Homo-oligomer: A and B are copies of this chain.
Amino acid sequence: MNTPDSAAPPAAAPTPRTRTLADPDTPFAVVDLHRTRRNIERLRARADRLGVTLRPHVKTAKSLDVAALLHDGAPPCPVTVSTLAEAEAFADGGYTDITYAVGIDPHKLPRVIALLRRGVTVRLLLDSAEQAASVAEASRRAGLPLPTQIEIDCDGHRGGIRPDAPALTGIGRVLHDAGCLDGVLTHAGESYFAYSAQERRLAAENERDAAVTAAGRLRAAGLPAHTVSVGSTPTAHAAEDLTGVTELRAGNYVFFDLVMAGLGVCRVEDLALSVVVTVIGHRPEHGWIVTDGGWMALSRDRGTAVQAQDQGYGLVTDLDGELIPGLVMTAASQEHGTLTARDGAGLPDLPVGTRLRVLPNHACATAAQHRGYHVVDGARAPRAAPRTAPVIQDHWERVTGW
């Protein structure tokens, strides 16, 4: 019989070979840690100056590893989610203050109640008396309050009721009588089309005014409005005064993307998400370089199509993240991308097998095409001589499904 003493000493663990962006088969998504940290710090500093709690929306990265950067060693921060799958994954990861910022479908309440019973605060959103009645009834049956916010429409973008809507106090009353009224929430969705800093400042003021007005009406009716929540990436970076607001939400700001750069909310050098692709062919007669990264890898999002500068499916960099001037991904089929030159740039000489990175229109949509991210640290992996590809430091999984 073998005893620990008589057994052979354990073999030394094999040293894992350092992997770089030249190694995994393409296409795959990459997160630049340095840029992500810088983007996170930029909005954290703003929220501190504005004196509001930051409640990041984790729907962009859908990653516990990215979220860990948001609180950076401190206890988990409040978060916003877009699906109950995210709420459940973040609850499993230790997050206990979660706002589910999509109008509640009453069919989903059992999963919400299960999270509440685990001690996780899940804040709901709604904009109708029907939903309020469902929430109030579920709360009474479960014997626990379901903290709920009333969605306020500040700019006609999507859901919510107007801050002056007569229905507001009635909905508030139904929720309050069941112990469920938590406050109000609004989102300046139209700020994604605000092309000047001045327009975004006005959008931020309007967003705050809508939320504060609605909260004031609830209070004037003798109802509570603990939470007064506003936010979108463009307005979060434009707001100058959030008096009356208790928390700020934003999601895209951790990665940014070409839509945000086109608005002027960030620079192209701030984009922290890209997709590594490989050149698989050339059609010089058409001026095309063909890659193995199509819409399956980039998504079908063409958000910059409505901007002054249409960026196709994305701008192209080398493997170090340096922009290749004038090279744009202009077409996509399922597993093929087409790169073309613009602005008088010649088509660069990129042989079959060359790896490139594509900076996407819309980080939320592109990230959603991938199960996870390879992570590089742009700050630690600048150009070296002899040139090697940036080292992969980690792999982060995404939450998927609903």
Residues of A within 8 A of B (CB): 25-28, 59, 82-84, 102-108, 111, 127-128, 130-131, 134, 153, 156, 158-159, 189, 278, 280-283, 286, 290, 292, 295-297, 299-302, 333-336, 338, 351-353, 362, 364-365, 368-369, 371, 400-402
Within the complex, what minimum Cβ distance (angstroms) separates A150 from chain B?
Answer: 12
Contact B27 A280 (CB under 8 A): no
Contact B290 A158 (CB under 8 A): yes
Across the interface, A280 reaches (CB within 8 A) one of B105, B292, B299, namely B105
Within the complex, what minimum Cβ distance (angstroms) separates A86 from chain B?
Answer: 10
Closest Cβ neighbor of A111 among chain B residues: B25
Closest Cβ neighbor of A165 among chain B residues: B285
Residues in B neighbouring A283, C-beta threshold 8 A: 153, 159
Residues in B neighbouring A292, C-beta threshold 8 A: 102-103, 105
Contact B334 A59 (CB under 8 A): yes
Q: Could you list 13 further interchain pairs (A-B, Cβ under 8 angstroms) beyond the known A127-B281, A131-B281, A159-B280?
A: A25-B84, A25-B105, A25-B108, A26-B107, A82-B296, A105-B292, A107-B353, A128-B281, A134-B353, A159-B336, A189-B333, A300-B362, A300-B365
Across the interface, A352 reaches (CB within 8 A) one of B131, B282, B286, B290, namely B131
Closest Cβ neighbor of A110 among chain B residues: B25
When A and B form their complex, which 6 residue pairs have the shortest distance between CB atoms, in order from nearest?
A: A300-B300, A103-B280, A300-B301, A105-B278, A130-B352, A82-B335
Contact A338 B299 (CB under 8 A): no
Residues in B neighbouring A280, C-beta threshold 8 A: 102-105, 131, 159
Within the complex, what minimum Cβ distance (angstroms) separates A351 from chain B?
Answer: 7
Within the complex, what minimum Cβ distance (angstroms) separates A79 from chain B?
Answer: 15
CA–CA, A365 and B82, complex, Å:
21
Residues in B neighbouring A336, C-beta threshold 8 A: 102-103, 158-159
CA–CA, A195 and B282, complex, Å:
29
CA–CA, A369 and B367, complex, Å:
12
CA–CA, A153 and B283, complex, Å:
10
Residues in B neighbouring A334, C-beta threshold 8 A: 59, 82, 364-365
CA–CA, A108 and B352, complex, Å:
12
Residues in B neighbouring A106, C-beta threshold 8 A: 352-353
CA–CA, A336 and B59, complex, Å:
13
Across the interface, A159 reaches (CB within 8 A) one of B84, B290, B300, B369, namely B290
Closest Cβ neighbor of A82 among chain B residues: B335
Within the complex, what minimum Cβ distance (angstroms) separates A290 from chain B?
Answer: 5
Within the complex, what minimum Cβ distance (angstroms) separates A216 from chain B?
Answer: 23
16 A–B contact pairs at CB < 8 A?
Answer: A25-B108, A25-B111, A25-B402, A59-B335, A82-B334, A83-B335, A102-B335, A102-B336, A105-B278, A128-B282, A128-B352, A159-B280, A159-B283, A295-B301, A295-B365, A300-B302
